[in-house]
Structure 1
Amino acid sequence: MAIRALTSPSPPSPEPGTVLLETERLVIRRYLLSDAPALAEIGNDPEVAIFMSDRFPNPYTVEDAETFIKNLNPQHDPTSPPEYPTTTAVLLKVAPADGRHHTPAGDGLVLIGSLGVRPKPDVFYRTWDIGYFVGRDFWGQGYATEAVTAWTRWMFATWPELLRIEGGRYSSNPRSGRVMEKSGFVLEGVKRSAVVKNGVVLDALLYGLLRSDVEKEST
């Protein structure tokens, strides 16, 4: 079923590397092929993969990352308009002093994670699902909350017809729940025993953020 596309008065460019927004510490932009090695390093960590869906390959190689980034080209994803922020890279403006993290594009930025959005079909077309992950080296420093908070507000501002953003987590991942709650999401329900990940039965928790919730922040 085709997605009913939302329109924007100022849609972002779909070109690879386009910067969508910046926060105090982060840059959120479209992926470049040069991001593949850093993305593979993050995605191949079992402590990250355990919270992902099974669509995410494990192990996660540089070739997997390159294929993923190449397939972000609009011609490979006819279900979403090319200007949608289907999947974006989250980069740290100041590289850690340990020297372990390289800058994929040579611009001094360090890839630390990813944000994605999936538009829902049919009568739910004014709702978007989000997903995100941050590399383990960058946990516990508020980066995920900073990225999700800014990104969701940017999406509501850029697409005025967007009513709702949903996010989910496994019951085994309370850290993700704290990120969403700090970003303004509300826990709306629990699907009991809905997930089997690596042979373990888990609950699935659903969170929602409304445009009206965000609008209240500025009043």
Structure 2
Amino acid sequence: MASMSQNNGAAEQTESQTRAQFESPMPILTLSRSIIRPYHVLDAPSIAREANNPLIAQWMRNLFPDPYTLLDAESWISIATKTLPLRNFAITRPDGTYVGGIGLKPLADVESRTMEIGYWIGEAHWGAGIMTEAVIAFSRWSFETIPELLRLEAGIFGGNEGSMAVLRKAGYTFEGRRRNAVFKNGKVLDFHMFALLREECLGSRG
């Protein structure tokens, strides 16, 4: 028979594990309009709810599911939290409400010191300045925490004026247009290329 102390220890361990399961991960950035933090298993229902929207999927690569199910959200969280170092993060409002995601995709070969920045935000949170603030802060965080990073870039589908406006406000430079480079939902679109350099973001500290 287990002793009372053993039983208490097991109960405390179970309680600790349960508490850890529900605790939100430590943020990497705490901003006025949002918090950027690692994903958590409990984010899945919120991700599925916010992401399951064709108005969002139309501007994303085909790897972004449409429709976006709970299973898709759980799969994404597993990928985002097991790939180290962490490069993909959840965006929440200060009260903890999940609103979207932001992350980096490392490039390779001669572009190994460039990363692609990607982001999305749920329709209910559009127009609140959340994403502009997040892109500005996350871009700076990226250069400050990845010493080898020289350049962030983003490719935006033609017609996605909202995302282009976010990048311009965040200090990104429009570098050119790849004509008829995108085929999405039966439409042929241009690909608008934006970039931010380390010295443009950090100045002399870069």
TM-score range for the pair, normalised by the shorter chain length: 0.7 to 0.9
* Structure 1 counterpart of 2:144: 157
Pairing 1:30–2:38 present: yes
CA drift at 1:123: 1.4
SS at match of 1:141: coil
Give the aligned residue type for 2:192: L
TM-score when scaled to structure 2? 0.84
Whether the 8 Å contact between 1:188 and 1:207 is mirrored in structure 2 is yes
TM-score when scaled to structure 1? 0.79
**Count of matched residue pairs:** 182
- Deviation string 1:31-50 (CA, Å, 9 cap, x unpaired) is 00100111011111111111
Pairing 1:60–2:62 present: no
**Hey, which bits of structure 1, 4+ residues long, moved more than 3 A?**
none
Q: In structure 2, how many angstroms separate the alpha carbons of the residues matched to 1:119 and 1:206? A: 16
Give the aligned residue type for 1:68: W
* Structure 1 counterpart of 2:28: 20
Task: Name the one with the larger helix percent.
Answer: 2
Q: In structure 1, how many angstroms separate the alpha carbons of the residues matched to 2:204 and 2:36? A: 22
CA drift at 1:217: 8.7
SS at match of 2:90: strand
Q: Which runs of no fewer than 5 residues in structure 2 stay unpaired?
A: 1-23
* Larger mean Cα displacement after TM superposition, 45-54 or 176-185: 45-54
CA drift at 1:20: 1.2
Q: In structure 2, how many angstroms separate the alpha carbons of the residues matched to 1:20 and 1:153? A: 12
* Structure 2 counterpart of 1:8: none
Pairing 1:47–2:55 present: yes
- Deviation string 1:147-204 (CA, Å, 9 cap, x unpaired) is 0000000111112221100011101201100000000000001000000110011000
Whether the 8 Å contact between 2:158 and 2:191 is mirrored in structure 1 is yes
Give the aligned residue type for 2:74: E
Highest Rg: 1 or 2?
2
Whether the 8 Å contact between 2:39 and 2:81 is mirrored in structure 1 is no
CA RMSD in angstroms, aligned pairs only: 1.5
* Structure 2 counterpart of 1:133: 120
Give the percent of matched residue pairs that are identical in Structure 1 and Structure 2.
40
Q: In structure 2, how many angstroms separate the alpha carbons of the residues matched to 1:73 and 1:43? A: 18
Give the aligned residue type for 1:175: G
Relative contact order, higher structure (CA 8 A, sep 6+) = 1
CA drift at 1:73: 3.7
